[in-house]
Chains A and B, each alone.
Chain A
């Protein structure tokens, strides 16, 4: 997949913007522990809420896509290895949210892994809906390698 490289300026803006700010960014590391997913998702949702993204985009699109990306990074990328970390970088502007999830795994091919779970032959499968939901709820999902396996998701603001 194409890549523009790491997101610039992730450390130049506050994690959650104040009332007069129009941009937020954060870069954080989390352990490979699914119990930590909620806190990270909550922070990114608050970033979007502070920039007045539509409530449904925060509660549905951002929450679902980021939860799935973090689950994949922890369970598949890092194989729940407590020695490995997941890095999350976000940049939120009034126009778009870009969030990158970096794990220490070998990476994967999005096109190969993206199966359609709605097809009759797949609908009874227990697995395989995470990446599909990320793609369905974000405007763009890309993967590249940069000191780790990076999944970058972009959500344009639609009011």
Chain B
């Protein structure tokens, strides 16, 4: 399980490898908040290498979305697999986030 952060222009792109769960959600939160403190405004979290997100992981995404918006920024998501899409639909978080099918589409959407 790891998080990789890279910049594509002015967009901070985070790759979540493995799972986003109770055991590592704080690590993701801190990494994104650090980028926000450094002035990042546009954030994309790419889940193409993510097998699973638990409820605490979903909660961290909600929390980050709020914090980023409060700073005048935007958080977008990309590449949810079918099971993850179902979790977002069940919890109606698909209505809260802008979710793109591919990384490129998400990057173009900013």
Docked-complex contact B96 and A56, CB < 8 angstroms: no
Total A-B Cβ pairs within 8 A: 60
- Contact indicator B92/A133 (Cβ below 8 Å): no
**Of the candidates A34, A60, A64, A124, which one forms a contact with B62 in the assembled complex, judged by CB atoms under 8 Å apart?**
A124
| B56 contacts A117, C-beta separation under 8 Å | no
In the bound complex, do residue B91 and residue A67 qualify as a contact, i.e. CB atoms below 8 Å apart? Answer: no
Please report the total number of B residues contacting A with Cβ < 8 Å. 22
- Taking a contact as CB atoms under 8 Å apart, the answer to whether A129 and B83 are in contact is no
Chain B residues in 8 Å Cβ range of A136: 90
Main secondary structure on B side of the interface with A: helix
A residues with CB within 8 A of B:
34-35, 37, 56, 59-60, 63-64, 67-68, 71, 75, 117-118, 123-127, 129-130, 132-133, 136-137
Contact among B52, B63, B90, B96 with A133 in the assembled complex (CB-CB below 8 Å): B90
Name which residue of chain B comes closest to A67, CB basis: B54
Contact A34 B83, beta carbon cutoff 8 Å? no
A56–B82 alpha-carbon span in the complex (Å)? 10
Which residues of B are at the interface with A, using a C-beta cutoff of 8 A?
Answer: 21-23, 52, 54-56, 58-60, 62-63, 66, 83, 86-87, 90-93, 95-96
Query: Could you tell me the distance between the alpha carbons of A95 and B49 in the complex, rounded to whole angstroms?
Result: 33
Q: Is B91 a contact partner of A117 (Cβ separation < 8 A)?
A: yes
User: What residues on B are CB-neighbors of A75 within 8 Å?
Assistant: 22
Q: Which residues of B are found within 8 Å of A118, using beta-carbon distances?
A: 91-92
Chain A proximity of B85: nearest CB distance (Å): 11
Query: Known pairs A75-B22, A133-B87. 20 more at Cβ < 8 A?
Result: A34-B21, A35-B23, A56-B83, A60-B83, A64-B54, A71-B56, A117-B91, A117-B92, A118-B91, A123-B92, A123-B96, A124-B66, A125-B59, A126-B59, A126-B63, A127-B56, A127-B59, A129-B59, A130-B56, A133-B91
